[in-house]
């Protein structure tokens, strides 16, 4: 039988891309090489975080979830040639092969891409999280031949506490700071982390949440996809009135003000990130270990369940996690700069 990967190549310079027959597929590209600007090139955009959305500016065909498209449109201009594909649905290429989108759990709209051709299956995870959160249902590992996966927390010390425990810690700290007449303030990513913190405060406490205007726009998109969030835009009349009265939580996606007061009220600054497990967060009064990514154990779990024949680590601790792959007897595909690799050599 013919090797189903006979015409697969992994291409990598700065971007992760594959070639299969006449098709070229770029995953979350940061730039599009000139030679790739043809009708046979498809861009897959896994989610709406800033380091993944450069492909929206391209005039090439783009596959995204409807949620990712709406988040992008809420803060940027409407892109062209976009094919919104809900998770679970398939896109078929003209010369054979399909791409199906699966939930990635990382944030609203985050998708894994499953490319199938000639009986071979390749998965690009994008950023993922196997654990469900208050704002996103967890991802499931997808069995495949070749796995292109993130390894942001691919180091053994990156093991996160149970999410419910962190939620309770956030609620407790917030309520303590309010009792001390401080404004609990969270510095967050405008997309994903902000909405999870709003939902935590809405769920555990009865205090108003004031957000900056970028967070407000994106949170409206979350609401339109039926994720309940109660918040006030700091620029709205109601928001300003709430701030004047005091007794609120504040979320900012921008650099924190140096004077540490809001409407004359002292501020306690917090951050919520997986990196707080590894590094001291000295700029903040409090740091919570809350990540939208898989921790080390989840990365191992994904590989064990998906049983790939070969793995390419797209980002993160590739050397440390590469050693884990060795132990699991799974080949690691390590492209050299500007070198095209025949995937069949690794299988
Ligand atoms: Zn992300």
Could you tell me which of 275, 300, 305 has the C-alpha nearest to residue 288?
A: 275
Question: Distance from the CA of 129 to the center of ligand 1, in angstroms?
Answer: 10
Residue 213 clears pLDDT 70, i.e. is over it: yes
Question: Distance from the CA of 96 to the center of ligand 1, in angstroms?
Answer: 30
Token pair of 268 as six digits = 């306690």
| 141 and 104 Cβ atoms separated by less than 8 Å | no
Question: Distance from the CA of 106 to the center of ligand 1, in angstroms?
Answer: 7
Please tell me the predicted confidence (pLDDT) of residue 264. Answer: 87
Question: Distance from the CA of 50 to the center of ligand 1, in angstroms?
Answer: 8
Q: In degrees rounded to 5, what are phi and psi of residue 284?
A: -120, 155
Question: Distance from the CA of 121 to the center of ligand 1, in angstroms?
Answer: 24
Residue 7 clears pLDDT 90, i.e. is over it: no
Question: Distance from the CA of 345 to the center of ligand 1, in angstroms?
Answer: 31
User: What predicted TM-score, i.e. pTM, was given to this entire model?
Assistant: 0.94
The string of pLDDT tens digits covering residues 125-160 is 999 999 999 999 999 999 999 999 999 999 999 999
d(CA 236, CA 36): 45
Question: Distance from the CA of 334 to the center of ligand 1, in angstroms?
Answer: 22
Q: What residues sit around ligand 1, an ion, with C-beta below 5 angstroms?
A: 49, 127
Please tell me the predicted confidence (pLDDT) of residue 336. Answer: 65
Q: How much is the mean pLDDT over the chain? A: 93
Higher pLDDT, 343 or 14: 343
Please tell me the predicted confidence (pLDDT) of residue 43. Answer: 96
Domains of the chain, CATH where assigned:
8-157+293-346 (3.60.15.10), 163-288 (3.40.50.12650)
Q: How confident is the model at residue 337 (pLDDT cuts 50, 70, 90)?
A: low
Question: Distance from the CA of 240 to the center of ligand 1, in angstroms?
Answer: 31
Question: Distance from the CA of 194 to the center of ligand 1, in angstroms?
Answer: 13
Mean pLDDT of 10-35: 84
The residues facing 18 across adjacent strands are: 10, 25
Please tell me the predicted confidence (pLDDT) of residue 33. Answer: 76
Question: Distance from the CA of 136 to the center of ligand 1, in angstroms?
Answer: 13
d(CA 122, CA 308): 9
The string of pLDDT tens digits covering residues 84-96 is 999 999 999 988 8
Question: Distance from the CA of 51 to the center of ligand 1, in angstroms?
Answer: 7
Percent of the chain with pLDDT over 90: 79
Question: Distance from the CA of 246 to the center of ligand 1, in angstroms?
Answer: 33
């Amino acid at each position: 039988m013919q090797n189903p990967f006979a015409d697969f190549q992994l291409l990598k310079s700065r971007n992760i891309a594959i070639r299969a027959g006449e098709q070229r597929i770029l995953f979350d590209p940061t730039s599009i090489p000139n030679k790739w600007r043809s009708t046979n090139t498809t861009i897959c955009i896994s989610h709406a975080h800033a380091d993944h959305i450069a492909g929206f500016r391209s005039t090439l065909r783009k596959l995204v979830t409807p949620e990712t498209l709406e988040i992008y449109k809420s803060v940027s201009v409407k892109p062209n040639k976009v094919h919104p594909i809900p998770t679970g649905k398939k896109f078929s290429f003209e010369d054979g092969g399909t791409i199906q989108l699966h939930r990635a759990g990382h944030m609203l709209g985050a998708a894994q891409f499953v490319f199938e051709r000639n009986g071979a299956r390749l998965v690009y995870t994008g950023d993922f999280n196997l654990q469900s959160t208050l704002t996103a249902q967890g991802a499931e590992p997808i069995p495949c031949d070749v796995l292109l996966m993130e390894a942001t927390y691919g180091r053994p010390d990156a093991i996160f506490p149970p999410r419910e425990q962190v939620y309770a810690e956030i609620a407790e700290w917030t309520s303590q700071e309010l009792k001390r007449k401080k404004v609990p303030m969270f510095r967050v990513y405008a997309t994903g982390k902000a909405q999870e913190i709003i939902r935590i405060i809405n769920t555990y406490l009865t205090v108003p949440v004031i957000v900056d205007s970028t967070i407000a726009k994106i949170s409206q998109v979350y609401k339109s996809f039926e994720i309940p969030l109660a918040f006030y835009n700091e620029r709205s009349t109601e928001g300003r009135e709430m701030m004047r009265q005091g007794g609120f939580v504040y979320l900012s996606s921008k650099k924190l003000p140096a004077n540490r007061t809001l409407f004359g009220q002292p501020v306690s600054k917090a951050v919520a990130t997986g990196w707080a497990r590894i590094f001291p967060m000295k700029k903040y009064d409090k740091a919570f270990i809350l990540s939208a990514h898989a921790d080390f154990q989840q990365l191992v779990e994904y590989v064990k369940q998906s049983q790939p024949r070969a793995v390419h680590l797209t980002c993160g601790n590739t050397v440390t996690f590469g050693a884990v792959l060795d132990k699991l007897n799974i080949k690691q595909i390590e492209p050299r700069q500007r070198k095209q690799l025949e995937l069949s050599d690794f299988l």
